[in-house]
Chain A
Amino acid sequence: MSMGIPEVEDAGCLLCFGYNGADSHPIVARRIVRGRQKGMKIICVDPRVTETARISDIHLQLKGGSNLALVNAMAHVIWEEGLTDDRFIQEHTKGYDEFLKVIEKYTPEYAEPITHIPADMIRQAARMYATTKPAMILYGMGVCQFSQAVDVVKGLANLALMTGNFGGPSMGIGPVRGQNNVQGACDMGALPNSYPGYQNVTVPEIREKFEKAWGVPLSDKVGCPITHVPHRILHEKDEKKRIHAYYIFGEDPAQSDPDLAEVREALDKCDFVVMQDIYMNKTGLYADVILPATAWGENEGVYTCADRGFQRFRKLIEPEGDLKPDWQIIAEISTAMGYPMNYKNTEEIWNEMIDLCPSFAGATYEKLEKYNGVQWPCRDKSMEDKGTPYLHKGGNFATADKKALFYGTDWHPPLEMENDEYPMSLSTVREVGHYSVRTMTGNCRMLRSLEDEPGWVQMNPDDCKRLNLEKGELVKILSKRGYCITRCLPTERVKPGATYMTYQWWIGACNELTLANLDPISNTPEYKYCACRVEKIEDQEWAERHVKELYDDIRVQMGIDTGKGAAS
């Protein structure tokens, strides 16, 4: 995020795009609510009536998969009506004219049939965003989990650049991340193309620096993104490129990745699978080796918040049983494989890391303690450098000439559109009571009482009436790739023709249905759009029994005692 999360509540205008804070980040949602109390204007872009939509000035309830058409149309209005910050564009950006050529055709009237939003409403939203300062954009998985994701992120950045909304507090663009510490994972180089601190593996000087520090030769090739793994196991012709071993920790691809049937086949065919996690999960069923790790509260270290804030987290209780923190397991595996790692604590690892990453170099444990966290970039170890709450101060961007680049692209529809056989669309979403793949929250009875297997499919009441479905009824939902059983939840908050499911349920696993269609740059799958069909199950008694059997089966396979009921 270019801004800090505490700044959210002081924005003049918030464009909340494909981001449902109330379900995914209640603590950020709190800032939005507070901002509203302080008079912040809110434009909410979401195909569903979210809690943010409810308190917004303008709710653009767009048709799923039309993001870029809407963003480009908003840019068109801002340009056409002369609402741009020309001085900012002149002094701090490049490529504006080329960008205008792209957005020229995106009149609100052109976007209306694509987005299903009246042209005048697009105009109103664009005016509100461009004329209320400071204006901030928050976006979530409703932007990132499409095959056209990076283009939309750039499109949103274009809006902020056109209106000069960069370089100060409570402005800019903010991806509110999809998982806890996903920012930290990226910061630490858990990406195929970078070392810690976003230092590219293909740059020779960078590679030499790390080779020298670690005393080993390092590859100059970009690695494999997680979403390419099934293909590289199953269909890779080049023997040298085929993946034979898969070491998975803190991730449950057999639950969270698209097209689960293919993922299962890949895990099955992979010669060697190691799983390192805190509880048994679906991926664990395919593992040759399981390494039990400690959970939050049983270990300590540093997380990065979505707003680049490094925060210490602490050990609260001693773990019980034969398990170790992740960093110790990694160090021991590495040592056993011939590269000894003799770290005594996380601070030693941290110090080594920050000394190799210029933009993190000043974020010492001492400062993290004293200031309750530090937002990078923090380059200097002196106590005066407290980090960077917001980026691009004074309009200076992190490019060679300090100028930002406009980048315009045309909209294209999602890959799999509704058709005769699968007439509805499916989007995966989150719910407040469960986190991610439920490895943690599914084992907590309190949270299971909020929602439990087999989950729900949200549908418009008109669709439910047409299919003769009632609330709570078990239904079969199918796509080209598979099917699952879940409960019907009629709600006015979704539009006819669209369905929404959360992805954590073992039984109502919507990723049986989703499609591994990836964004070409981020490699993130199109979780937010595929075609599906909902079918009524006539024999509900059978369905209830069947769901219970499936659930008990999974629990038995996972070695969870089913006799006593509670897993926790």
Chain B
Amino acid sequence: MKKELGSFVIGDSTKCTGCKACEMACFTVHNQGSNHVGKTVGTVTVPVVPRLFLTKFEYGCMPIQCKHCENAPCLNACTKGAISRIDNQVIVDPEKCIGCKDCMQACPFGAVTLLPYAKDGKVVAQIGSNETRVFASKCDLCKDVPGGPACVRACPHEALRLVDPEAEREEKNIKAAEALLLTKNWR
């Protein structure tokens, strides 16, 4: 059965040390296929562009990525139909993206950015100019990657996790119910 609400990855600031292993893992898995990024140095020929952002400020440090909103502002903002909901995940089609930045503006989490588009190990140029083509880049929950989100698996501190909001709500319901059962009024 299809899940009601989409999942997303979330970071835990109390565990994150800012090592950026998530960013590296994210770039690697998204470029292993068509861009030929391998497991050793010397295989990267395209710009290194992760889809989540290690965010550091005075009192915090954690990666920020797409929440796969149910009423996704980015999807609503895109006039080119480049963003769609596939299997409850908000996905960008880089071929359709024109780099207008509307989704960037719309996203309240800053989870979208425009990054160079690369295919077959090379940066794609724009038609009629040498300028690099860009596309709206954001977390796709590693939809084609066996084992699920690479960032979650790469984190040495277990500071990232994949949230299933419905399941977590049910879990909290049970805990709340258990707590209520223990109160004196019920005995």
Interface size class of B (residues with CB under 8 A): 20 to 34
Question: Quick check: A568 and B41 within 8 Å, CB to CB?
Answer: yes
State in angstroms the CA–CA spacing of A27 and B156 once bound together.
8
Known pairs A30-B17, A492-B58; A446 contacts B157 (CB<8 A): no
Query: With a CB–CB cut-off of 8 A, which chain B residues contact A448?
Result: 48
Whether B138 sits at the interface, judged by CB under 8 Å, is no
Report chain B residues within 8 Å CB of A49: 58-59
Task: Answer yes or no: A289 CB below 8 A from chain B CBs.
Answer: no
- Taken together as a complex, chains A and B put the C-alpha atoms of A29 and B20 apart, in Å, by 13
B47 at the interface (CB under 8 A from A): yes
Chain B residues, CB < 8 A from A51: 16-18, 61
Q: Scoring B residues 114 to 157 as 1 if CB is less than 8 Å from chain A, else 0, what string do you get?
A: 00000000000000000000000000000000000000000011
The answer to whether B18 touches A432 (Cβ under 8 A) is yes
Q: Which of A32-84 contact B (CB under 8 A)?
A: 33, 36-37, 49, 51, 54-55
Q: Are A450 and B20 in contact (CB under 8 A)?
A: yes
Specify which of B14, B17, B21 is in contact with A21 (CB 8 Å cutoff).
B17
B5 sits at the interface (CB 8 A): no
A33 to B159, CA, bound (A): 10
In the assembled complex, A412 has its CB within 8 A of some CB on chain B: no
Answer yes or no: B57 CB below 8 A from chain A CBs. Answer: yes
Complex CA–CA separation, A493 to B28 (angstroms): 30
> Taking the nearest CB of chain B, how far is it from the CB of A30, in angstroms?
5
Say yes or no for B60: interface residue by CB 8 A criterion: yes
Asked if B77 lies at the interface with its beta carbon under 8 angstroms from chain A, I say no
Cβ contact within 8 Å between A446 and B156: no
Given A446-B44, A492-B57, A30 contacting B157 (CB threshold 8 A): yes
Min CB distance B15 to A, Å, is 5
Query: Would you give the 0/1 interface string for B47-91, flagging 1 where the beta carbon is closer than 8 Å to chain A?
Result: 110000000111111000000000000000000000000000000
| A444 with B18: CB separation less than 8 A | no
Q: Measured between alpha carbons, how far is A22 from B41 in the docked complex, in Å?
A: 23
A55 to B13, CA, bound (A): 9
Minimum C-beta distance from B63 to chain A (A)? 13
B17 contacts A29, CB within 8 Å? Answer: yes
- Shortest A31–chain B CB gap in Å is 10
Are the CB atoms of A446 and B48 closer together than 8 Å? yes
**Given A26-B17, A49-B58, A433-B20: A33 touches B157 (CB 8 Å cut-off):** yes
The A410-455 residues at the B interface (CB cut-off 8 A) are: 432-433, 443-446, 448-450
Q: CB distance B41 to A444 under 8 Å?
A: yes
- A446-B24 contact in complex given A26-B156, A492-B58, A566-B45, C-beta closer than 8 Å: yes
B23 and A22 within 8 A (CB):
no
- Which residues from chain A contact B45 at a C-beta distance below 8 Å? 566
A541 to B60: give the CA distance in the assembly, Å.
Answer: 34
Bound: A54/B16 CA distance, A: 10
0/1 interface trace, chain A 488-529, chain B, CB 8 Å (1 if under): 000111000000000000000000000000000000000000
Which residue of chain B lies nearest to A450 when distances are taken between CB atoms in the complex? B20
Rounded to whole angstroms, the CA-CA distance of A433 and B156 in the bound complex is: 15
Which residues in chain B, 24-45, are within 8 Å of chain A measured between CB atoms? 24, 27-28, 41-42, 44-45
| Cβ A22 vs Cβ B17 within 8 A | yes
Q: B19 on the interface (CB 8 Å rule)?
A: yes
A26: chain B residues within 8 A (beta carbon): 17, 19, 21, 156
Partner of A445 from B44, B56, B59, B159 at Cβ < 8 Å: B44
Tell me whether B15 and A54 are in contact (CB under 8 A): no
Of A33, A55, A568, the contact of B44 (CB 8 Å cutoff): A568
Minimal beta-carbon separation of A221 from chain B (angstroms): 43
Other-chain residue from B13, B18, B42, B57 in contact with A22 (beta carbon distance below 8 A):
B18
The answer for the CA separation of A344 and B44 in the assembled complex, in Å, is 37
Task: State how many angstroms separate the Cβ of B21 from the closest Cβ of chain A.
Answer: 8
Other-chain contact of B42, A30, A37, A449, A568 (Cβ < 8 Å): A568
A111, B157: Cα distance in complex, Å:
37
Contacts of A27 in B (CB 8 A): 156
A495 to chain B minimum Cβ distance, whole angstroms, is 11
- Contact in complex: B41, A33 (CB < 8 Å): no
Distance between A43 CB and nearest chain B CB, rounded to angstroms = 17
Contacts of B42 in A (CB 8 A): 568
**Assembly CA distance A491 to B48 (angstroms):** 25
**Are B58 and A37 in contact, with the CB atoms below 8 A?**
no
Closest B residue, CB atoms, query A295: B41
CB-CB under 8 A from B157, the residues of chain A are 29-30, 33
**What chain B residues lie within 8 Å of A432 (beta carbons)?**
18-20
A568 to B44: give the CA distance in the assembly, Å: 9
CA distance A449 to B61 in the complex (A): 19
Min Cβ gap A20→B in Å is 10
A443 to B27 CA separation, bound complex (whole angstroms): 18
| Distance to closest chain B CB from A506 (angstroms) | 19
Distance in Å: Cβ of B68 to nearest Cβ of chain A: 26
Sorted nearest first, the 7 A-B pairs with minimum C-beta distance are A449-B48, A22-B17, A492-B58, A26-B19, A29-B17, A445-B44, A51-B17
20 new A-B contacts at CB < 8 Å, known A432-B20, A446-B44: A22-B17, A22-B18, A26-B17, A33-B17, A51-B16, A51-B17, A54-B59, A54-B60, A433-B20, A444-B41, A445-B44, A445-B48, A446-B28, A446-B41, A446-B48, A449-B27, A450-B23, A493-B56, A566-B44, A568-B44
A-B contact pairs, 13 of them (CB 8 A): A21-B17, A22-B19, A30-B157, A54-B59, A54-B60, A433-B20, A443-B41, A444-B41, A446-B27, A446-B48, A449-B47, A492-B57, A568-B44
B contact set with A: CB distance below 8 Å: 13-21, 23-24, 27-28, 41-42, 44-45, 47-48, 56-61, 156-157, 159
